[in-house]
A = this chain, B = another copy of it.
Amino acid sequence: MNSQLKRGTLELCVLSVLSRRDCYGYELVNEISDCIHITEGTIYPLMKRLKDDGSITSYLVESREGPPRKYYSITDIGRVKLKEQLDEWNSFYASVNKILEKSI
């Protein structure tokens, strides 16, 4: 898979999943990896960016299966961002497909 394609969409995917329910990082990796390959080394820096810009908050929860889990929760700022990025994504792939269709 061309890893360049993922750029910009992983953030959208994370926000989208978090808009359904709170998740911890490792869980997000597994959830999203079903469709698009990612690893922890990709997700944690992304979560840090999202936290820094106020799109998400986090809280720790003890776990019996390993170290404490850091759950992430989407904020109102994050929901606004999600909506914007969703619109961008939809118009973007419509644009790409328009260019591609011309060549058939």
Q: Does A42 contact B (CB under 8 A)?
A: no
Known contacts A93-B93, A99-B13, A102-B20; A88 and B5 CB within 8 A of each other: yes
Could you say which residues of chain B place their CB within 8 Å of the CB of A92? 1-2, 5-6, 36
Could you say which residues of chain B place their CB within 8 Å of the CB of A96? 9, 12-13, 35-36, 89
Q: What are 27 A-B contacts with C-beta separation under 8 Å?
A: A1-B88, A2-B8, A2-B85, A2-B92, A4-B7, A5-B8, A5-B9, A5-B92, A6-B92, A7-B8, A12-B96, A13-B100, A16-B99, A16-B102, A16-B103, A17-B99, A17-B102, A17-B103, A19-B103, A20-B103, A32-B99, A35-B95, A35-B98, A36-B95, A36-B96, A86-B100, A89-B96
Number of residues of chain A lying within 8 A (CB) of chain B:
31
Closest 8 CB pairs of A and B: A4-B8, A35-B95, A4-B7, A5-B8, A16-B103, A7-B7, A20-B103, A13-B99
In the complex, how many angstroms separate the beta carbon of A37 from the nearest chain B beta carbon?
A: 10
